Amino acid sequence: MRHDDRERKKGASEMLVLALLEGGDRHGYEIARRIGERSEGALRYGAASLYPLLYRLERRGLIDGRWVEKAGQRRRRFYRLTPAGRRELTRLRSDWRRFLDAVARVAELGRA
């Protein structure tokens, strides 16, 4: 049970990153900022947890990072969703939907 729980947390973060990249290639800072903005500050990802997460996803082949240089700027590392990442995102979304539905039904969140 505890193990599932940890997995789920980890899975949540992974889903968030994958979902953000679905909208386009982004670099690390942008991903962190957008998670903050979209959650209206409820979710915050510091560099300390974000980058290791990105590296993990990259190693698993779900995202793909590459250095991009733009005129007059230092190069930055942009991440892109891979086909495998897209599939994983779909899977995570349906998992989470089922999980949240179940939680909502049990806790009667809708009535609160």
User: Residue 61 in 3-state DSSP?
Assistant: coil
Q: Which DSSP category does 72 fall into?
A: T
Scan residues 72-101 and list those touching other proteins (CB under 8 A).
74, 76-77
CA dihedral 80, 83, 85, 87 (to 10 degrees): 150
Binding range to other proteins, per CB under 8 A, among 10-18, 70-78, 87-95, 99-107: 70-78
Q: Does 32 bind other proteins (CB under 8 A)?
A: yes
In the block, tokens 């990259």 appear at 58
Complex with other proteins: residue 39 or 49, whichever CB lies closer: 49
Binding-site size, other proteins (CB under 8 A) = 19
CB of 109 to other proteins, least distance (A): 31
Distance between CA 102 and CA 87 in Å, rounded? 23
CB of 90 to other proteins, least distance (A): 21
Contact in structure between 77 and 66 (CB atoms under 8 Å) = yes
Contact positions vs other proteins (CB under 8 A): 3, 27-29, 32, 46-49, 51-53, 55-56, 59-60, 74, 76-77
